[in-house]
Amino acid sequence: MSKTQTKNLKFIDFCAGIGAGRLGLEKNGLSCVGFSEIDKRAEITYRKFFGEDEINHGDLTKIDSKKLPDFEMMIAGFPCQTFSVIGQRKGMGDERGQIIFSLIKIMLAKDLKYFILENVKGLTNHDNGNSLKVILQELEKAGYKVFCEVLNSIDYGVPQMRERIYFVGIREDLVPDDFQFYFPKRQPRADVKDYLIDTKELGFDEKKVAYETFLKYLDNKYNKDRYDIKEILEQDYLVIDTRQSDLRIYHNKVPTLRTGRHGILYVRDGKFRKLSGYESLLLQGFPRELAKKVDGVIDEIHLLKQTGNAMTVNTIEAIARELFKTLEVYEK
């Protein structure tokens, strides 16, 4: 598929969150013609990024496909709470787990050419693999050649460990029977110090109550005598994850950003700092100029939650690039 053809492709950003999937496709020259998101706070951030005039089609389970503009591709990070290891794992028994069927309904109604979908790694083994099997069967029944694989964001240009399953679909009449898609190869690792760059006062020191809580945490039965705080503070850009019980330490990488995880600290210039919303956006692949638009505008707690729910821009960009490079070879 030529660059000219790619630029003519339009897509809608479903289960949009704050638009990471959109950015990944736009970096490949595609044009967004609307989005669908029900989280009002996420919508505010989305509009800060992309403009107040963007059209939100709302709850995708209630969308009348006839009222959607013409588009050829779908991007969607469909709800993962029902498949995640940190959720209740109800899967298809939860209405959020059935969002996939609403997406398929739109695919069929608009006769879409392509899609990229994302979900948590936990989907691969939910209900002994039956949930994934049903999703693949339904997508194939809808007339698509489907390829899926678990990728880690840390292998695609950001220093965040984030394993997610990605689905790539191509309408089967567009490619030959022997069509094969291979997910992008791993890229060189990024340096965490290029991402932990916030200059706002988000210190974490002995003057704050939270610091005292941290010291008690280090002295609990799981961590007692395991860590020397002086030695930790001597290691710039050491990343610390304060989990419920045990503390985990990471070198040149950051653990998975999650909606409810706000306990990530790191060392810089001999002091502890909290991971900020701005930095979490960078760790999800948002460019600095875009992240600056919401830095100090959207409350930290909401920005951290939203980035925890987001896709990784770099990973979507790499998948889309590989898809269109492959289609250029195979396209009839």
CATH of the domain at 320: 3.40.50.150
What pairs with residue 69 in β-bridges? none
Amino acid identity at 147: F
Select from 321, 324, 290 the least CA-distant residue to 307. Answer: 290
* 299 and 323 assigned to the same domain: no
* 261 and 321 assigned to the same domain: no
* 208 and 260 assigned to the same domain: yes
* 145 and 265 assigned to the same domain: no
* 165 and 295 assigned to the same domain: no
* 165 and 248 assigned to the same domain: no
* 9 and 143 assigned to the same domain: yes
* pLDDT tens readout for residues 149-178: 999 999 999 999 999 999 999 999 999 999
> Is 148 part of the annotated catalytic residue set?
no
* 214 and 293 assigned to the same domain: yes
- Region of 195 please: left (phi>0), alpha (psi -120 to 50) or beta: alpha
Q: Which residue has the higher pLDDT, 314 or 223?
A: 314
For residues 83-102, b (16+ Cβ closer than 10 Å) or e, as one string?
Answer: bbeebebebbebebbbbbeb
Please tell me the total count of domains within the chain: 2
pLDDT at 241 > cutoff 50: yes
How far apart are the C-alpha atoms of 218 and 91, rounded to whole Å? 36
Token pair recorded at residue 41 = 């706070």
| Residue appearing with tokens 């210190």 | 203
| Residue appearing with tokens 């956006």 | 281
pLDDT at 294 > cutoff 60: yes
pLDDT at 4 > cutoff 60: no
Instruction: Evaluate whether 148 touches 165 at the Cβ level (below 8 Å).
Output: yes
Q: How confident is the model at residue 92 (pLDDT cuts 50, 70, 90)?
A: very low
Instruction: Evaluate whether 205 touches 271 at the Cβ level (below 8 Å).
Output: yes
Q: How confident is the model at residue 214 (pLDDT cuts 50, 70, 90)?
A: confident
Write down the pLDDT at residue 80.
53
Q: Which residue has the higher pLDDT, 330 or 108?
A: 108
Token pair recorded at residue 227 = 């860590």
* pLDDT tens readout for residues 298-309: 999 999 999 999
* 28 and 166 assigned to the same domain: yes
* 38 and 85 assigned to the same domain: yes
Write down the pLDDT at residue 3.
55
Write down the pLDDT at residue 215.
84
Q: What's the average model confidence in pLDDT over 280-305?
A: 96
How far apart are the C-alpha atoms of 15 and 99, rounded to whole Å? 9
How far apart are the C-alpha atoms of 35 and 11, rounded to whole Å? 9
Domain limits at 109? 3-185+312-330
* pLDDT tens readout for residues 103-140: 999 999 999 999 999 999 989 987 788 889 989 999 99
Share of the chain above pLDDT 90, in %: 70
Write down the pLDDT at residue 259.
78
Q: How confident is the model at residue 1 (pLDDT cuts 50, 70, 90)?
A: low
How far apart are the C-alpha atoms of 50 and 54, rounded to whole Å? 7
Angle at 140 between CA 138 and CA 331, to 5 degrees: 150
* 284 and 152 assigned to the same domain: no
* 110 and 173 assigned to the same domain: yes
